A and B are shown apart, each in its own frame.
Chain A
Amino acid sequence: MSMMEHVWLIPFFPLVGFLINGFFGKKLPKNVVGSLGSAAIGLSFALTIKIFLEFLQLPAASRPFEKTIFTWIAAGAFKAEAAFLVDPLSLIMLLVVTGVSFIIHVYSVGYMHEDPGFPRFFAYLNLFVFFMITLVAANNFLVMFIGWEGVGLCSYLLIGYWYEKQSASDAGKKAFVVNRIGDFGFLLGIFLIFWTFGTINFREVFALAAKYPVGSGVITAATLLLFVGATGKSAQIPLYVWLPDAMEGPTPVSALIHAATMVTAGVYMVARCSALYVLAPLSLTTVAAVGAATAIFAASMGMAQFDIKRVLAYSTVSQLGYMFLACGVGAFISGIFHLMTHAFFKALLFLGAGSVSHALSGELDMRKMGGLKKHTPITYWTFMIATLAIAGIFPFAGFFSKDEILFYSLVDGHILYWGIATAAAFITAFYMFRAVFMTFYGECRADPHVAHHIHESPPVMTIPLMVLAALSAIGGFVGFPIIEGAHKFKEFLAPSIAPLHEAVHHSVAFEITMMIFSMAVAAAGIYTAYRMYIKEPELPDKVVAKYPVAYDYVFHKYYVDELYDATVVEPIKAGSTFLWTGVDDKVVDGTVNGSAGLVAWLSGHLRKLETGFLQNYALAILVGVVIITGYLISQ
């Protein structure tokens, strides 16, 4: 039996998991909750693999496949169906989302075991996966938007998961509000697309858009608005500020939502709308410029962080910048390729960081780590593999995808993009190895009572690490460059993506030179970190002393949060306070209270008419009768 007809089951399982854990989780034993939550995702993952295999068997012509579940809205010319689009792009995303989610669910069973909110955690996590699947499998903008908002909601719930902590609930609010700003742009983009094309179905919109000339104003506007949504969700300049704070959530959440899946939704959306973006050179330039700027900006902030999760958060922002840079120069497939490899190694890095903090009784400050290599060997080796992958060392996954982005940013973009991306690659290698050296090498700087019981995590946590490590190590080979036909990833994905121009064949020597150069850059970054944090530990302080102003800016994240506070948050607060005390308290409440007071005053006088004497009432009736009769007679 073909399972493709049953694609709706993929989001259905997590939804069921959410409902059961959400409503009955408190009554169920912990191991049931954990297994149920993981099994729901596992089933989705298995089904996705099955559909993927069936999809590969199909002839190319009948491949993109739409499955309508029901007509959701039909009003006049507007029609929205709850329907799924199964095509190479959505399948890749489904595989990444369900696969990584499954691994992280299993890890969470161990990591969250002592937490009193265990069922709530799994309910939220399942709900998140449901919305994420909706987002990537939707066949129209509106259903995608449902997923888009849904993952935003789950992100908010999970960042503020430890809501009794002020900083966590603040971070959740910040993420939600910043995302809403982006979502507003996204929504306007959808409106504009419906207004222009009269449909919101992806394939219909793309077919109609092909008739428009390149650079047409309406498509440029629509794609720019959609990109505003992407900057919010995928944490790009200027809306990246929420992601570093989102690290207040539990570590598996950071791994799943704020590294591997949700934050890549913007990249997915841009790739999905590649047919629109290739018609809007201005939008592409914007995407590339924002991506490149974010890549270097966030990477530089990552250098001076001491919280290991914040280092990874800035690294995520920076890597997302790479993906947008790739999309912006038209290399959408490379962007998605990097999205996939990044999902593997960044999820692994976060889970590794979780394992480290597990070993150190919850410590996240790298100044209080060190020397963990011998205590937590599995964590160390898996973390190392992920670090090599993100630094772009052959043959780890990140090498292939990052190298492709660097390559295309030079040949299809601009030497400036390439320069920025290369510099960011250097910084990435530097701060990632800084993190490794500070965490796993040298003397243990943990507090004595913490250092006393450093231990490796249980198998339920280390096995997910090893699986992700394997993926981070070999995952890049699906996109092997140079050899003709070896880039299976590109071949598979090509039908979903609109090319910016005809493929140009570049000389092998040029490609190899580029690779060697990018490896050399990464190696230089690693060596710098080695010099500063292993060989001459006093060197970082010297550098800081030499450039105090620059360090101050980097350390305080360029004062962007303070800038936003002063220019956006505080004026809005002042305006809201005025509306509250001035308009609401005085004008609105004044009107309401005033009318009530008027009625009370009037009644106070009118009630004197109620004398309680029978004969007064009888007289009133008589007078009334006389007046009415007199009036009727006089007619």
Chain B
Amino acid sequence: MVVPLHYYLGLSVALFALGVVGVLIRRNILVILMCIEMMLNAVNLAFISFADAFKAVDGQTFVFFVMTVAAAEVAVGLALVVAIFRHRATVYVDDLNILKW
């Protein structure tokens, strides 16, 4: 049986929305990074579904790019988190608010 396109898209939207909510309300930087990953993967899922539905490889190609960028972003992001933790002994964004007025 074939799963209809809107099922995939519904899942993708749900994942993306979860990611956004996570980024906005969680205090732990690591969790925020994971939520960003979730948003990227929600987008990946949408790409794949469209690629399958339209029988075009463009979507799959883009997924590779997104995965590459995601990997790089996580590497940099985690490195920053480690550096911040070493300096400030915290990973909670509420405490990292020195760039304010």
A76 at the interface (CB under 8 A from B): no
How far apart are the CA atoms of A608 and B23 in the complex, in Å?
A: 22
B 81-101 to A, binary, CB cutoff 8 A, 1 in contact else 0: 000000000000110111111
B70 at the interface (CB under 8 A from A): no
Instruction: Report yes or no: A615 in contact with B23, Cβ–Cβ below 8 A.
Output: yes
CB distance from B97 to the nearest CB of A (A): 3
Residues on the B chain within 8 Å of A608, using CB? 101
Residues on the A chain within 8 Å of B99, using CB? 610, 612
A452 at the interface (CB under 8 A from B): no
How far apart are the CA atoms of A614 and B25 in the complex, in Å?
A: 10
Instruction: Report yes or no: A613 in contact with B101, Cβ–Cβ below 8 A.
Output: no
CB distance from B13 to the nearest CB of A (A): 13
How far apart are the CA atoms of A598 and B66 in the complex, in Å?
A: 47
Instruction: Report yes or no: A611 in contact with B100, Cβ–Cβ below 8 A.
Output: yes
Residues on the A chain within 8 Å of B25, using CB? 615
Residues on the A chain within 8 Å of B96, using CB? 614
A568 at the interface (CB under 8 A from B): no
Instruction: Report yes or no: B24 in contact with A612, Cβ–Cβ below 8 A.
Output: no
CB distance from A622 to the nearest CB of B (A): 6
Residues on the A chain within 8 Å of B97, using CB? 611-614
Chain A residues numbered 600-630 whose CB sits less than 8 Å from any CB in chain B? 607-608, 610-615, 618-619, 622
Instruction: Report yes or no: B101 in contact with A610, Cβ–Cβ below 8 A.
Output: yes
How far apart are the CA atoms of A610 and B20 in the complex, in Å?
A: 21
Instruction: Report yes or no: A619 in contact with B24, Cβ–Cβ below 8 A.
Output: yes
How far apart are the CA atoms of A607 and B101 in the complex, in Å?
A: 6
Chain A residues numbered 277-331 whose CB sits less than 8 Å from any CB in chain B? none
**Candidates B24, B94, B100, B101; contact of A618 at CB < 8 Å:** B24
CB distance from B90 to the nearest CB of A (A): 13
CB distance from B99 to the nearest CB of A (A): 5
How far apart are the CA atoms of A252 and B99 in the complex, in Å?
A: 72
How far apart are the CA atoms of A280 and B98 in the complex, in Å?
A: 84
Residues on the B chain within 8 Å of A611, using CB? 97, 100-101
Q: From A606, which residue of chain B is reached at the shortest CB distance? A: B101
Instruction: Report yes or no: A615 in contact with B93, Cβ–Cβ below 8 A.
Output: yes
CB distance from B95 to the nearest CB of A (A): 10
Q: From B96, which residue of chain A is reached at the shortest CB distance? A: A614
CB distance from B84 to the nearest CB of A (A): 12
Instruction: Report yes or no: A618 in contact with B23, Cβ–Cβ below 8 A.
Output: yes
Instruction: Report yes or no: B23 in contact with A613, Cβ–Cβ below 8 A.
Output: no
Instruction: Report yes or no: B24 in contact with A613, Cβ–Cβ below 8 A.
Output: no
Q: From B29, which residue of chain A is reached at the shortest CB distance? A: A614
Instruction: Report yes or no: B94 in contact with A613, Cβ–Cβ below 8 A.
Output: yes
- Known contacts A619-B24, A622-B20, A622-B24; decide if A614 and B93 are in contact (CB<8 Å): yes
Residues on the B chain within 8 Å of A619, using CB? 24
How far apart are the CA atoms of A44 and B4 in the complex, in Å?
A: 106
Q: From A604, which residue of chain B is reached at the shortest CB distance? A: B101
CB distance from B29 to the nearest CB of A (A): 8
CB distance from A210 to the nearest CB of B (A): 81
Residues on the B chain within 8 Å of A614, using CB? 32, 93, 96-97
B 51-85 to A, binary, CB cutoff 8 A, 1 in contact else 0: 00000000000000000000000000000000000
Residues on the A chain within 8 Å of B23, using CB? 615, 618
B 8-44 to A, binary, CB cutoff 8 A, 1 in contact else 0: 0000000000001001110000001000000000000
How far apart are the CA atoms of A622 and B94 in the complex, in Å?
A: 19
How far apart are the CA atoms of A613 and B101 in the complex, in Å?
A: 11
CB distance from A439 to the nearest CB of B (A): 82
How far apart are the CA atoms of A619 and B25 in the complex, in Å?
A: 10
Q: From B98, which residue of chain A is reached at the shortest CB distance? A: A612
Instruction: Report yes or no: A610 in contact with B100, Cβ–Cβ below 8 A.
Output: yes
CB distance from A202 to the nearest CB of B (A): 72
How far apart are the CA atoms of A618 and B19 in the complex, in Å?
A: 12
CB distance from A629 to the nearest CB of B (A): 13
Q: From B23, which residue of chain A is reached at the shortest CB distance? A: A618
How far apart are the CA atoms of A90 and B46 in the complex, in Å?
A: 96
CB distance from B69 to the nearest CB of A (A): 18
CB distance from B96 to the nearest CB of A (A): 7
Instruction: Report yes or no: B100 in contact with A612, Cβ–Cβ below 8 A.
Output: yes
CB distance from B18 to the nearest CB of A (A): 14
How far apart are the CA atoms of A615 and B97 in the complex, in Å?
A: 10
Chain A residues numbered 42-66 whose CB sits less than 8 Å from any CB in chain B? none
How far apart are the CA atoms of A611 and B100 in the complex, in Å?
A: 5
Residues on the B chain within 8 Å of A618, using CB? 23-24
How far apart are the CA atoms of A613 and B25 in the complex, in Å?
A: 11
Question: A residues near B, CB below 8 A?
Answer: 607-608, 610-615, 618-619, 622
Instruction: Return the 3 tightest CB-CB contacts between A and B, nearest first.
Output: A612-B100, A612-B97, A607-B101
User: 25 A-B contacts, Cβ less than 8 Å apart?
Assistant: A607-B101, A608-B101, A610-B99, A610-B101, A611-B97, A611-B101, A612-B97, A612-B98, A612-B101, A613-B93, A613-B94, A613-B97, A613-B100, A614-B32, A614-B93, A614-B96, A614-B97, A615-B24, A615-B25, A615-B93, A618-B23, A618-B24, A619-B24, A622-B20, A622-B24
Question: B residues near A, CB below 8 A?
Answer: 20, 23-25, 32, 93-94, 96-101
